[in-house]
Amino acid sequence: MSLIQNIDNLVLSYINNNMHGYIMDKAMVFMTSLGNGGLIWIIISGLLISNRKYRKIGFVALGALILSAILGEGILKHVVQRIRPSADIPAINLLISKPLSYSFPSGHTASSFAAAGVLGKYFKKYAFGFWGLAALIAFSRLYLNVHYPTDVLAGIILGVICSKITIQMFNTVNHDKTVSM
């Protein structure tokens, strides 16, 4: 077993042996459900899109979500093909339905950090809340034994990169429109 895999297993073992309890179990199931399919971020983006003042920001957040899904779920998971901890470690008892897709990178984490990156950029007053929610969703994936720490770390990196790319594309398009007017 590689050093990275050993560290991944040690972190999951620590979480399993030291952090589980009734309230935490319920809270982490709820947190992960917010990230299912990027649900909470799609709702926030939709609310922004429905408001004329924030419409562009909503579309940028939605663009970051789409980009993270294409790169993470559509490409990286199929290239890396890492099995999930629940399949790799037989003694794990799952609190949610067993995910059917590959593990690397964490899609919940990538989408959360992609959206939080955009929303935090444009709503600085609430940035801590967006990043905090993204971090809780990411941690829930470890707590629930459906991802290794390196899956989540890769999801964070992918999400932040997607937010930066999408913001840059938006700024370039907006700058070009302004210049051509």
Task: Dump pLDDT digits (tens) for 13-28.
Answer: 899 889 888 999 999 9
pTM given for the model: 0.90
The beta strands (E) that lie in the chain are given as none
Angle formed at CA 104 by CA 72 and CA 139, multiple of 5 degrees: 100
Is 76 in contact with 106 (CB distance < 8 Å)? Answer: no
Would you state the structure tokens that stand for residue 107, as one six-digit string?
Answer: 């899609």
What SS3 class is residue 181?
A: coil
CATH top class, domain 31-176: mainly alpha
Closest CA to 96 of 47, 156, 147, 61: 147
Question: Mean pLDDT highest for which of 41-45, 78-82, 92-96?
Answer: 41-45
Task: Give pLDDT, residue 16.
Answer: 86
Buried b (16+ CB within 10 A) or exposed e, 66-97: ebbbebbbeebbeeeebebbbebeeebeeebe
pLDDT tens per residue, range 113-158: 999 999 999 999 999 999 999 999 999 999 999 999 999 999 999 9
Would you state the structure tokens that stand for residue 88, as one six-digit string?
Answer: 């790799």
Would you state the structure tokens that stand for residue 39, as one six-digit string?
Answer: 């649900």
Listed by start position, the domains of the chain span 31-176
Would you state the structure tokens that stand for residue 80, as one six-digit string?
Answer: 């890396």
Could you tell me the maximum CA-CA distance found in the chain, to the nearest angstrom? 63
